[in-house]
Structure 1
């Protein structure tokens, strides 16, 4: 009996000794002012992007977040998306109690792996690894460390100091690393601090830091949060994307690359289709009426089906394929419509837009590919510019709706891009 008691005491002491303790993450160390309106508090958030190799960009995240109540549980979850251009190299973490004592480790095997096909697509090559702590005692703290690698540098992840309105931030920083001499463009939004820079013979780095940011309550009809929260955007002048190289410094250069490298070679039509279109519009009195007939033909013939694979996320299907299959996504349908219009000598613009219920315009002073998520068509008639939503089978000719209206778009053409 005595031996059993000694063994039990030894086991209890050993268990405590081998439990990892992180007293710095005790909830007692959260400044009381950060609890206001907060369901969670980010204790530490270190983001590093290393772009010294354009086709092997490394994103490293170290994040510690305390969940204050049940409403904050979703902020403890981690979703890591990957595809052929994005690889998850490592991930680890801890779940801690209110005192900062580890309650268990997080490894890659803790994650659920599933398809990340969106509800608007027939097929995408994107997948997601997802983890959410199964904890019902509040508050608790979760720490994550993970590394992602991107085989492209056309889209560099934006850094948001406060990623959600119901989350307060105790400390956060962002470091961007590049080779000396690499040409990049940086824009800070609502940043009140001073950027820290460092340079050696092997690298240049830029660092932004924030501390003690309070949570806030979203309000109906309030301005876009991007007008007042802190974030940083970075774009490389020279980039690679799925084997395609390019460069741009402004919207003109980006629009030219989109048209010349992604769109121009996809617009050929068969002689039979060209003949059919000309026969279709032969009795129309002017170009606008010709365009109306072509748009109505497009609506009756095609359906919106999204297939996003590799560079197909940005490059449209061949117009001949849409003509044969009678379906496509926004890019493919706009490209097809533009090809049909071109066959009867009507000019149009292939336009990138930020679509959604929140009206977001492209930043005129900072060009980047990731600001757009949809394609529409512009017909610059002499007296009346007309816009077409080519994914709709029932929208009237010239009608866009609240999904894409009242915002800047990037019109892409052979002579370059321009904001309209």
Structure 2
């Protein structure tokens, strides 16, 4: 019987109303949850490749308004997705329906903004505040006119969320082939009727996933299902997910007729490469030429979300999205007889990995690869400052689909940043007898710390970024300079000079100094007696500080800290202190390796990180000679 029937019955009797709230709206241990999904049902009815009905129904109780704010988006609509029906009821803690929301009441927001042109819009619930707890029961229907993408079943969207019951059903004609990928779900119940087949997944009582720092991705811990149409259609074009090569053929067809650039541009390309015979240098010249005359604007409208605008239009207007800029660069190289490949990739940290065994529409970005005799050159074409063959954390070390008719294949992009924040710093400190210090530093940033984007940032913003990284609030920055380091690939050199008025503390006739200047940006772990999840450090850290402290005239270092070192499978650190002719030299090194570590090692790793943080906190006492 419908739950709303019981809501209406029990609210007539105070005792029954109280029991109802305890039983239905406040499940056992609810205070430990931010939300409880009492039921969530997703049903996909495929009538044909261009006629798909999607039904969604759920009943959710929220115990945190912040969680409710995170979950206000109902759906998105675009050229291929139309909302046909929506109704929701907002229910307070007494089980009373306090508001009914229909389709016309939803808040509509475009996803377009300056530099981003899309036909997508999001529809959200019109709730600005609400007393907690509050429950929402809703149902909706969406009509989808393309089968390139089908909704995924992901009932657990947040940590600290209990799911009591959920179901996922896909119904299709018998001759409409589908492929499924699932995690933590039982095998589906399959029913065949006259002309149709349905796949039904059921999930009961999935426990809450506790929120912890540096935990694995939520998707790796929860149940879900994805479905893909083996033969799809969109905008009167047809393709196949029978294999990645087949999907590559459809993607290659999207490039037909888009690779012509203007006569003037061809002449310019001939001119700038006329005296250059080395292929790598010719690629570099083309890449710089494209960067200097184009800018990135995202255009995702209709089939334009997958088909690039013609290279001739990029040539004329000087802008394009990732597809257009990659295709334009590919066309320019092609004019010079250099073969290059249009490559699909899933951009962004924490993005779902592409499964070699499950072809589907898994990509949201395009890059360019240029095969050489012994290597492959990679080009990220959407940024005007990034150097040749540097991809960055967003697309490195992940599966990409090289698009070429009848020869498309998945490859792994290189790890151009090596997955580490790398910083090597030489710091010179001139300590004065009044405790102040003149400080200069020369820092080399590479890996994930390669700040190529700073070249296009306003000087005031750069200045703020530098001073915020200094461990002295009283630091007065005099000069700074940031530039790409020509002699080291993918490295930025940052020079700073400034003054710290209270660098050393006066303690009982001594000057107390710490061999620190910059903050140590290592992860911090709070105390936890019962860690549940593994520790996942997605990025590593390598820091080397070589610090030279020139002592004030007439001062000597009384005692030096003990040099230390340790090494384990997750990292290492060392500190070395020496004194020579009025100079105190400190060499501090620390490494944290990226990876997944067992929960039972939490205390050990936390102690390691705390020790690393304490290395530059060791005091050296300077005594004035009598």
Shift of 1:272: 3.7
SS at match of 2:131: coil
Once the two structures are superposed, what CA deviation does each residue of 1:290-315 show, in whole Å capped at 9, x if it has no partner? 11100010110100112221111111
Which residues of 2 match residues 21-420 of structure 1 at below 5 A? 26-29=21-24, 32=27, 35=30, 37-75=32-70, 77-117=72-112, 120-121=115-116, 123-134=117-128, 136-191=130-185, 193-260=186-253, 262-358=254-350, 360-369=352-361, 371-420=362-411
CA distance, structure 2, for counterparts of residue 408 and residue 87 of structure 1: 32
CA distance in 2 between partners of 1:160 and 1:24 (Å) = 31
User: Which stretch of the first structure deviates more once superposed, 330-339 or 221-230?
Assistant: 221-230
Size of the aligned set, in residue pairs, is 400
Post-superposition shift, 1:51?
A: 1.0
What secondary structure sits across from 1:50 in the alignment? strand
Task: Report the CA distance shift for 1:34/1:62 in structure 2 as closer, same or farther (over 3 A).
Answer: farther
SS at match of 1:205: strand
- Give the direction of change, closer, same or farther, for the CA distance of 1:31–1:302 in structure 2 (3 Å limit): same
Mean Cα displacement is larger for which, 277-286 or 133-142?
133-142
User: What is the CA–CA distance in structure 2 between the aligned matches of 1:248 and 1:266, rounded to whole Å?
Assistant: 24
| CA distance, structure 1, for counterparts of residue 135 and residue 229 of structure 2 | 36
Q: Distance in 2 between matches of 1:137 and 1:87?
A: 32
- Residue 125 of structure 1, CA deviation: 1.6
CA separation of 1:359/1:237 partners in 2, compared to 1, >3 Å: closer, same or farther?
Answer: closer
What CA deviation, in whole Å up to 9, does each residue of 1:187-223 have, x standing for no partner? Answer: 11232x2211101113110011112122223444433
Structure 1: segments with no counterpart, 5+ residues: 1-12
8 A Cα contact 1:253 1:416, kept in partner: no
Contact kept in structure 2, 1:185 and 1:234, CA below 8 Å: yes
Relative contact order higher in (CA < 8 Å, ≥ 6 apart) = 1
Which has the larger share of strand? 2
Matches of 1:351 and 1:237 in 2, distance apart?
Answer: 21
Contact 2:65–2:129 at 8 Å: present in 1 too? no
Shift of residue 134 of structure 1?
Answer: 5.0
Q: 1:110 to 1:23 in 2, by over 3 A?
A: farther
Compare 23-32 and 175-184 and name the one that shifted more. 23-32
SS of 1:212's equivalent? Answer: strand
Determine helix, strand or coil for the equivalent of 2:48: coil
Counterpart of 1:264 in 2: which secondary structure? coil
